[in-house]
Amino acid sequence: MSKKINEYFINQLNTHAKVLFEEYNIAFQNKMWASVIILSLTIIDNIMNDTDNLDYVDGLDINHFKSSKNFHWLRIRRNQILHFEKPVEGFFKNKDSDETLKLDALRADETLKKCFYTLFRK
C-alpha cells in the first residue's frame, strides 16, 4: 500500500491492528507473499471484531463487505495456506509457484484496501 493510504487508514486502527499492519507492509516489501495473504485477513478480522468500531462504522457497510466475493476468496485462500489438507497452488515449488502467490497477495492487498475504503471512508 502507498504511504498516502497508510497515513489515513492507520489512524483508524487499534494498536493491535497497527502492529499487524506494520508487519504486513514489511512482508509486502520483502515479497513474502504467503505472509501478506495471511496478515491481510488477520487485519480485516481484527477490524471486524473491534467493538470500538461499532461507534463509527456502519453495520450495513460491514455486511456489504463481508458478503463480497473477494472477502470469501481471501478467507478460503488463507485457510488453504494455514490448514494443510492437500497440496495447493503456489506451494508446488515450481517456476509458477512464486508468481501464483504474488498474484494472490496482490488480490489480498486489493481486498484489504477495499475493506479500508468501505469501512473507514471519509
> Mind giving me the DSSP string for 5-74?
HHHHHHTTS-HHHHHHHHHHHHHHHTT-HHHHHHHHHHHHHHHHH-GGGGGTS-HHHHHHHHTSHHHHHH
- d(C-alpha 63, C-alpha 7), whole Å: 25
Structural domain including 78 reads 3-119
Global pTM? Answer: 0.88
Nearest to 69 by CA among 19, 11, 111: 111
78 vs 9, 13, 17, 48, 72, CA distance in Å? 23, 21, 18, 17, 10
pLDDT tens, position by position, for the chain (122 residues)?
655 566 888 888 999 999 999 999 999 999 999 999 999 999 999 999 998 876 778 888 989 999 999 999 999 999 999 887 766 666 666 667 888 999 999 999 999 999 999 998 86
- Cα Rg for the chain, rounded, in angstroms? 15
Q: How many domains does the chain have?
A: 1
pLDDT for the residue numbered 84 = 79
Q: Look up residue 64 and give its amino acid.
A: H
